[in-house]
Amino acid sequence: MKTTSPLVWIVLFLALVVLIPVQAKDEVRVSYPSKVEASKGKEREKLFTPWMTTDALRTHTEERRGKGEQIIYFEYNGATMQSRAIYVSKLKLTGPYSRWYYTSESAMEQKLNSEIKSGLQPAFVVRNISGAYTMLLVSPQDMANVRVELMTLGIGEPKLKK
C-alpha cells in the first residue's frame, strides 16, 4: 500500500500540470491598451464632465441615462481618486454594459476575463496618466455602434491575446 500512495500523488501532480495550461488558454491578456489619439484631445476635453468622486460619477451617470444619454468614455485619476466622463445622446445601449477602473494590470485582466465570460466585450481599455486602467465593456449587439462613437473621439480598440 505504501508504494501506491506516492504513485497516486505523482499522477495527481502530472494531471494538474497538464490542466493548468488548458485553463490559461481560455484567459485573455491585454497586448496593447486602446490607443487614444492626442490629435483629438482638445475635442474630447470639451466633452468631459468636471472631475468628481466615483460615487458622484455613478449618480451622475444614472441621471444622464434617465435623460437619454449614455456614458461612452471615462477616465480615473488614481492620485486624486476622481473620475470624469463623456456622454453621448446618439447611442442607446440595448444590452448590458459595465465600466471599471483598476490600479493594477493583473486585477484589470482578471475582471476583463470575468466580464468576457459573462458575455460582454471590451469597447476600450485605457491606461490613464495616473497609471490606472479604465475599461468599458458592452454586449456584442451594441459593439458596432459603440465603436463608431469611440472612433469619433479618437479612441481605438484594445488588442487582446489568448
What predicted TM-score, i.e. pTM, was given to this entire model? 0.79
pLDDT recorded at residue 21: 43
Burial classification of residue 147, based on how many CB atoms lie within 10 Å of its CB (0-12 exposed, 13-18 middle, 19 or more buried): middle
For residue 155, give the DSSP letter: B
Residue-range domain boundaries for the chain: 28-161
Q: Give the list of residues 6+ apart from residue 75 with CB closer than 8 angstroms, or none.
A: 48, 83, 84, 85, 126, 128, 134
Residue 96 one-letter amino acid: P
Minimal CA–CA distance to 160: which of 20, 28, 65?
28
For residue 154, give the DSSP letter: T
Task: For 10-56, write each residue's pLDDT tens digit.
Answer: 655 554 444 444 344 568 888 889 999 999 999 999 999 999 999 99
For residue 36, give the DSSP letter: B
Residue 124 in grid coordinates:
476600450
Task: For 120-132, write each residue's pLDDT tens digit.
Answer: 999 999 998 888 8
